[in-house]
Structure 1
Amino acid sequence: MDLQSLPWYGQLGVFLLIGLIFVGIFYFSYYSPESTRLENIEIELAQVEDEIRKAERKQSKMAQIQEELENKKQVLEKLKAILPEKKEISQILKKIQSIISNARLDIIRFTVMQEKPQSVYIAAPIAITLEGNYHNLGIFFDQLSKLQKIFTVNNLSIRPFNKMTAEHTINVSFNATTYLYREAPPPKPGRRRR
């Protein structure tokens, strides 16, 4: 069949049919697979962007957690400064004795009592009996209160001295308690989960 023998609309139809065949071949062999591949890439890109956002959120959380950890470490260091460790107790006892001596009080009794462990700290009581005068006792308590370590005074008893002199007018007994930092025990090895 001759293409020129067809009327113009027949020729146009044949050219359109040939064009549609080429468009179909192009669509099914190139455009459709590339379009599918492009959609897959866009899905992967969206997943990667989502993972990046999650990672950025985790990173900002991590920064917050590290900042909180640093703050907690600073607080712990401050607490360790006022809650001495057990190995420092002998230095604290010497410091108390030095304060007593500087206040010009006489030590009658200085007994370290049994420690009382608590959850976070250990209470270390000291039974103290002194002789001196009110002024020197005030100096002692003032200097004791200025120590960097925490002290509490309980069971304070002040009695007049039997044979009063200028330096000895009272007999004082009390319990001074300092608090020691208690290290957390290491975690017990437990069964591993499967």
Structure 2
Amino acid sequence: MALKINIDIKNISKLGKVLIAVLPGLVITVLVVMLVIIPKNKEIKELEKKIAEQENEIAKAQVKADKLGQLTFENERLKKRLDNLKRQLPEEKEVSSFLKQVSDLCLRSGLKVILWKPEGKRDHKSGIVYEIPVRVELSGDYHSLGYFFSNVTNLNRIVNISDIRLTDPKPERGKAILRITFLATTFSAVPEEELEKKRGAKK
């Protein structure tokens, strides 16, 4: 037998409503950073290091056919894994279309886009990706916002939602319409030639 829980939104304080709306977003942000971005960046670095080490071994093992075959197979396996990870980080030329996908998702979620302002890209501390933040301002109700956040987590690219603020609730057709602002940050892979330049500069 299903348990029915009835919550009268009118009896919830303004602070309670804000917490109800903000907490899911904050949890999503923390989970994305801890469970997705940091582990992926760490694994990408480790894979690139292993690939470089194995390519060096391959070069030394040209005369050892038995070892060469094994090393080549392992090297290709690691490269495929690296490619799969990088597909989740769009190239810079793909970022515009991806950001449009996020903007369209806002509209499909029933939110009105008031401001959509991409900021300049910046280096991520990992050194292997760029951060591309977008300052966003929306208008909509709690339900639409929750639906949007839920769908963001299902995108095949990484988007980090932070600095969430809900203000100016106004009643409209039985709903509280909020002014919603946040920073949406996606990531793009640093081109290989730029990584090579950075590696060369460190030597």
Scaled by the length of structure 2, the TM-score of the pair is 0.60
Q: Look up the SS of the partner of 2:110 in the other structure.
A: coil
Aligned Cα root-mean-square deviation (Å): 2.2
In 2, the alpha carbon distance for the partners of 1:64 and 1:182 equals 30
2:159 maps to 1:151:
yes
Q: Which residue of structure 2 aligns with residue 58 of structure 1?
A: 64
Q: How many residue pairs get matched?
A: 134
Q: Which residue of structure 2 aligns with residue 164 of structure 1?
A: 171
1:79 counterpart letter in structure 2: L
1:56 is displaced (CA, Å) by 10
2:130 maps to 1:122:
yes
In 2, the alpha carbon distance for the partners of 1:56 and 1:114 equals 46
Deviations 1:16-36 (A, max 9, x none): xxxxxxxxxxxxxxxxxxxxx
Relative to structure 1, is the Cα distance of residues 169 and 56 closer, same or farther in structure 2, using a 3 angstrom cutoff?
A: closer
Q: Look up the SS of the partner of 1:147 in the other structure.
A: coil
In 2, the alpha carbon distance for the partners of 1:180 and 1:168 equals 36
1:168 is displaced (CA, Å) by 5.4
1:57 is displaced (CA, Å) by 8.6
1:153–1:174 CA contact under 8 A, matched in 2:
yes
Relative to structure 1, is the Cα distance of residues 125 and 68 closer, same or farther in structure 2, using a 3 angstrom cutoff?
A: same
In 2, the alpha carbon distance for the partners of 1:117 and 1:56 equals 38
1:99 is displaced (CA, Å) by 0.3
Runs (4+) of structure 1 moved beyond 3 Å? none
Q: Which residue of structure 2 aligns with residue 83 of structure 1?
A: 89
1:79 is displaced (CA, Å) by 1.6
Q: Which residue of structure 2 aligns with residue 16 of structure 1?
A: none
Q: Look up the SS of the partner of 2:64 in the other structure.
A: helix
Q: Which residue of structure 1 aligns with residue 145 of structure 2?
A: 137
Higher-Rg structure is 1
Q: Which residue of structure 2 aligns with residue 108 of structure 1?
A: 114
Q: Which residue of structure 2 aligns with residue 179 of structure 1?
A: 187
In 2, the alpha carbon distance for the partners of 1:149 and 1:59 equals 40
If asked which structure has higher relative contact order (CA below 8 Å, sep 6+), I would say 2
Identity %: 28
In 2, the alpha carbon distance for the partners of 1:165 and 1:94 equals 28
Deviations 1:145-173 (A, max 9, x none): 10000111111111242x32136521111
2:142–2:176 CA contact under 8 A, matched in 1:
no
In 1, the alpha carbon distance for the partners of 2:82 and 2:117 equals 30
- Counterpart mapping for 1:34-53 below 5 A: none
1:71 counterpart letter in structure 2: R
In 1, the alpha carbon distance for the partners of 2:147 and 2:85 equals 26
1:131–1:168 CA contact under 8 A, matched in 2:
no
1:65 is displaced (CA, Å) by 1.8
What are structure 2's unaligned runs of at least 5 residues?
A: 1-60
